[in-house]
Structure 1
Amino acid sequence: MESRIRQTLSRAFDQDVAEKASLENLGGHASLRIYWRITLSEAGPRGESTLMAMVLPEDFDPGKSEEGGENPETAELPFVNVQRYLARLGLPVGAIDFVDMELGVLLLEDLGNTMFENIYLNAPDQAEAHYQRAIDLLVDFQVATLDDGECDCIGYEKSFDEALLLWELDHYREWGLDEHYGADTLGTHRAELQAYFQQIVDKLLDLPQTLVLRDYQSRNIMEKGGKLHLIDFQDALMGPFVYDLVALLRDSYIVLDPDLVARLVAYYVQAGQAKDLPWCEDEALVKEAFYLQTVQRKLKDAGRFIFIDKVKGNPNFLPYYEPSIGYVKDALERLEFAGLAQLLSEVEPAFGKE
């Protein structure tokens, strides 16, 4: 992998730069992509001495999403396509300095080490102000991308349709229940659970739809120069307007107090109204949609954490399983889904834990 990076550096700059650069493997979190920090022997793009290398798997298929669903046929990587679109809108995304598809290496602007998660952990007593910043960025994103389906961004060509939303819920059934606890866990409740899943999906499809980043959470927001930046946007697609808000406020890595979450949802409504986001005119709709989407998103996340452990051999996400189920329990208490809550209390051991 290191040799591929140095080859790309020689193509982007020259052989001398490639040989003198130092490389640091930063891993890939839950992704198949591996990131390396490159330190150059002299200043590079933007006068900075560091770059990031995104290294793709050798068998990488740009038509497949790691999170499920198919990408439209395109001559370029979804990451490149969406980055160009967001940058054109003036949204804060890191620059792409060089794309070497032959070797599967992209050279990117180094956005540093400060994730939104670090900002929160360094000053948790200021959580509300921190999250208001992130909500402001989300509202700016939604305003900028509203009704822009005439552009060349592939995100507008795919959507959280019925099949994908159900796939995510089935991901929980398959991995969170069947593989995690045993194939007989559901017993006679299998058809009943599927019926509840269909009800959730039908309600989500009835919501206003907009472009969503799909994983707008504390480890996918970086701060550089005092400004928040978007990363990990290659899976952007059309979906329920509240999806990214749920990803942010019901993050698997940071557990927020429910009362704070409620205040932040209200803040989103106010910020959206100030920017004329149409769905924010109905605060009751936003609140109901938030908790409904929480059920769908966090069940998917729970199943994903088991999948990553059993299939990818990475157990690092297992501690987030129970908090995800806790989010589902809290959301169901606020919705008219007492039947689903009762079912999960019978088949999901984590559902009864505080």
Structure 2
Amino acid sequence: LVAGAKISTLKNDASSRRYFRLEKGTKSFIAVDASLGGNCLAFIQIAKYLKKMNLCVPHIIETNVENNFLLVSDMGNEQYFNAFTSNPDVANTLLIDAIDSILIMQKRGISYQDNLASYDNSLLNFELELFRKWFCNKHLNLKFNKLDRKDWQECCEFLIENALGQKQVFVHRDYHSKNLMVLPKKNPGILDFQDAVKGPLTYDLVSLLKDCYIKRSPDQIRSLALYFHKNLDKNILSYLSVNQFMTNFELMGLQRHLKIAGIFCRLNYREKKSSYMQYIHITLSYIVEITKKYPELAFIDNLIRGKIMQTLAHTR
């Protein structure tokens, strides 16, 4: 199938996977090497689920599960991120398409979500700890004392309670502009879905609208979030008011952004991938927009506006 193909290396993502484009005549394929750490079986299984939902994911052509290699169809070069930065006028249309796909994933995913791991207390807490360990401790050399640890844990419990209290649905878990592709028709092409879980209703939506790679205005975010809410299943709308939904959305976003700040620092220090550090300030800006609104989050708000901003100012 690909003997004699021209091979070019593609830019790696935040994982340890490597990607290659294979071109032969008018045909193009993507080879995925996950031998350094990856789960091809999960990718294959989740791809089947998403295809059954009639969503656009790469077609799996060949597999070598033993060695964690895959050959998949090529969805092209244009990420949502590239489209947003080169032509902002198309953003709303593309975002609506992506939101519609989340709604489909949640509605049709009911048939498959119980086969997924749960986004449970343990996983949510582990993710929040990435902020303390990698952003505060490693990046800024800020150590929490006993009282800090108590206040921090109370904030974490508040965020986890919000996440677990939401309707649990099929969650992509990394639904943002660098994992969505612009296609000639039927946007978006969806990538990097192998870590899908059964989790909170607002998770994928906030990953998309409060994307750590692109800063959006609060008005645009709210408008698109309300579009999602309006198009929810009537059974959900019967008990989920706009105000409760927006609270869920904001607090879910905060949990994700705390996690991402930690992950960006871990990528920098452990994987030597420094390019993600340029997005720390976008991530922090999303965080403080929310912490200032909730008294339960005063510890994080004071930490960021005080020690963290002061330390960052001195390290520039």
**Same-fold status (TM-score > 0.5):** yes
For 2:312 and 2:91, locate their aligned partners in 1 and report how far apart those are by CA, in whole Å: 28
CA 351–120 in structure 1, closer or farther in 2 if over 3 Å, else same: farther
Structure 1 unmatched runs, 5+:
1-12, 42-47, 63-75
SS at match of 1:27: coil
Residues 177-196 of structure 1: pairs in structure 2 closer than 5 A:
177-184=136-143, 188-196=147-155
- How many Å apart are 1:175 and its aligned residue? 0.4
For 1:52 and 1:34, locate their aligned partners in 2 and report how far apart those are by CA, in whole Å: 10
Name the counterpart of 1:36: 20
Checking the alignment, whether the CA contact within 8 Å between 1:116 and 1:223 is kept in structure 2 is: yes
- How many Å apart are 1:350 and its aligned residue? 7.2
SS at match of 2:78: coil
- How many Å apart are 1:346 and its aligned residue? 3.1
Name the counterpart of 1:332: 291
For 1:124 and 1:34, locate their aligned partners in 2 and report how far apart those are by CA, in whole Å: 30
Structure 2 unmatched runs, 5+:
none
Checking the alignment, whether the CA contact within 8 Å between 2:116 and 2:196 is kept in structure 1 is: no
Checking the alignment, whether the CA contact within 8 Å between 1:186 and 1:347 is kept in structure 2 is: no
Match of 2:83 among 89, 111, 119: 119
For 2:24 and 2:307, locate their aligned partners in 1 and report how far apart those are by CA, in whole Å: 54
Deviations 1:89-112 (A, max 9, x none): 212112000102244321100000
Name the counterpart of 2:32: 54
For 1:329 and 1:51, locate their aligned partners in 2 and report how far apart those are by CA, in whole Å: 42
CA 239–293 in structure 1, closer or farther in 2 if over 3 Å, else same: same
Checking the alignment, whether the CA contact within 8 Å between 2:291 and 2:298 is kept in structure 1 is: no
CA 334–259 in structure 1, closer or farther in 2 if over 3 Å, else same: farther
Checking the alignment, whether the CA contact within 8 Å between 1:322 and 1:350 is kept in structure 2 is: no
Task: Tell me: higher relative CO, structure 1 or 2? Use CA pairs within 8 A at least 6 residues apart.
Answer: 2
Percent sequence identity is 27
Match of 1:220 among 172, 179, 182: 179
SS at match of 2:223: helix
- How many Å apart are 1:332 and its aligned residue? 2.0
- How many Å apart are 1:330 and its aligned residue? 0.6
SS at match of 2:122: helix
- How many Å apart are 1:130 and its aligned residue? 2.7
For 2:254 and 2:197, locate their aligned partners in 1 and report how far apart those are by CA, in whole Å: 20
CA 79–350 in structure 1, closer or farther in 2 if over 3 Å, else same: farther
Name the counterpart of 2:119: 160
CA 97–338 in structure 1, closer or farther in 2 if over 3 Å, else same: closer
- How many Å apart are 1:37 and its aligned residue? 0.3
Match of 1:257 among 196, 212, 217: 217
Residues 136-155 of structure 1: pairs in structure 2 closer than 5 A:
136-146=100-110, 148=111, 151=112
The residue identity in structure 1 corresponding to 2:308 is: E
Name the counterpart of 1:71: none
Name the counterpart of 1:278: 236
The residue identity in structure 2 corresponding to 1:78 is: A
For 1:92 and 1:108, locate their aligned partners in 2 and report how far apart those are by CA, in whole Å: 13
CA 129–102 in structure 1, closer or farther in 2 if over 3 Å, else same: closer
For 1:322 and 1:181, locate their aligned partners in 2 and report how far apart those are by CA, in whole Å: 14
With 175-184 and 313-322 compared, the bigger mean Cα shift is at 175-184
For 2:220 and 2:85, locate their aligned partners in 1 and report how far apart those are by CA, in whole Å: 16
CA 257–352 in structure 1, closer or farther in 2 if over 3 Å, else same: farther
- How many Å apart are 1:187 and its aligned residue? 7.4
SS at match of 2:81: helix
The residue identity in structure 2 corresponding to 1:201 is: I
Checking the alignment, whether the CA contact within 8 Å between 1:82 and 1:234 is kept in structure 2 is: yes
CA 334–188 in structure 1, closer or farther in 2 if over 3 Å, else same: closer
SS at match of 1:106: strand
- How many Å apart are 1:207 and its aligned residue? 1.4
Name the counterpart of 2:282: 323
Checking the alignment, whether the CA contact within 8 Å between 2:168 and 2:200 is kept in structure 1 is: yes
For 1:36 and 1:130, locate their aligned partners in 2 and report how far apart those are by CA, in whole Å: 26
- How many Å apart are 1:186 and its aligned residue? 5.6
Name the counterpart of 1:23: 7
TM-score, scaled to structure 1: 0.81
**Structure number, greater radius of gyration:** 1
Checking the alignment, whether the CA contact within 8 Å between 1:292 and 1:335 is kept in structure 2 is: no
For 1:251 and 1:351, locate their aligned partners in 2 and report how far apart those are by CA, in whole Å: 25
Q: Does 1:110 align with 2:70?
A: no
CA 99–288 in structure 1, closer or farther in 2 if over 3 Å, else same: same
The residue identity in structure 2 corresponding to 1:327 is: Y
Between the two proteins, the alignment pairs up a number of residues equal to 310
The residue identity in structure 2 corresponding to 1:229 is: G
Q: Does 1:349 align with 2:309?
A: yes
- How many Å apart are 1:164 and its aligned residue? 0.5
Deviations 1:140-165 (A, max 9, x none): 2212113x2xx4x7x73311110100
